[in-house]
Amino acid sequence: MNKLYKSIMKKNPWVQAPQIPQVQSLLNTITPVNYTRGNGIAKKRLDLLEQQYREWVKDIIDLTEFKHCYFVNGVTDALNQWIATETRPWQYLQGDYEYAKMIGGNASSVEVIQPDTLLYISNPACATGNIIDIDKIQNDVILDCAYVGSTAIQTIVPPVNTEQVWFSFSKGWGLIGQRSGLVFTKQPHKSLSIMKRVEAWNYTSVEICLAVIANFKIDDIYNMYKEKQYQICKEYSLTPSDCFFIANSTHEEYTVRRRQGNVARLDLSYILNGEQYAQ
């Protein structure tokens, strides 16, 4: 057991994302692009990404009802755009992602979902990395699926009143610095629809996402790392999360990392990147 790794798990409050050598190698093959706005190329490439992404994730989540698609600088940008345009009070479960609350908005942290109030919720859940059942929720919902791509194929059924669904290439693919994400909505987005009309998104990041889809299945990275995750969890007496780079524990020594009840969320990225578990 590596004491340094254990110390890092105790001290690190954030979930990073391991660098995936195969994805890094693919990144090195992509040439930056820049198009003249209005000539149709940028829109054509984004339309292709939308089409391919819907197909890529269909065994996890059906996006048929979400007719509108926008490219964003990761889920952080999706949060920024939502908070900038949201006027309603909203709620989030204790232990869920807190960035939206940090930047503004009339938000409440709750232990139990309150009826008739807009709900922001992540699935796989930020608090544990586990996929949760949310299909019976009747609230209006903003659904953050940033961890999709880091789990086995499991079905996520959005609540009936889900307004937006967000995805990221940062976590499961180790592409934090590329700022690549997608927002799917049922109605046109207040700000992103304007930006889309003037083709204001990162054209090279679209190419990166297209390359990832062309070279990997949605669960390839999970399958690549799941045995390493189980080895680490066995060695450190932890419980594997559905997300391959997360572990959970109810041990008292990890109390400071608890996000929901007595369950601590622990980041395995540093260990997965270490020599002991290198590819």
Same domain, 114 and 31: yes
Same domain, 196 and 71: yes
Model confidence at 18, pLDDT cuts 50, 70, 90, reads: confident
What pLDDT digit, counting tens, does each position of 1-17 carry? Answer: 567 777 777 777 778 88
Same domain, 115 and 234: no
At residue 155, φ and ψ (nearest 5 deg) are: -75, 130
User: Where does a domain end: 161, 187, 215?
Assistant: 215
What pLDDT digit, counting tens, does each position of 74-126 carry? Answer: 999 999 999 999 999 999 999 999 999 999 879 999 999 999 999 999 999 99
Same domain, 69 and 113: yes
Same domain, 152 and 260: no
Structural domain that includes position 107? 24-215
Q: Domain count of the chain?
A: 2
pTM: 0.94
Give pLDDT, residue 1: 59
Same domain, 197 and 246: no
d(CA 176, CA 20): 11
**What is the number of other CB atoms lying within 10 angstroms of the CB of residue 117?**
15
The CA-atom distances, in angstroms, between 162 and each of 130, 158, 166, 167, 274 are 20, 6, 11, 14, 39
CATH assignment at residue 125: 3.40.640.10
Same domain, 193 and 63: yes
What pLDDT digit, counting tens, does each position of 243-259 carry? Answer: 999 999 999 999 989 98
Same domain, 266 and 162: no
User: Where does a domain end: 161, 194, 215?
Assistant: 215
**What is the number of other CB atoms lying within 10 angstroms of the CB of residue 176?**
16
d(CA 122, CA 151): 14
CB-based burial of residue 68 (10 Å sphere; 0-12 exposed, 13-18 middle, 19+ buried)? middle
Same domain, 131 and 240: no
Same domain, 111 and 246: no
Same domain, 56 and 128: yes
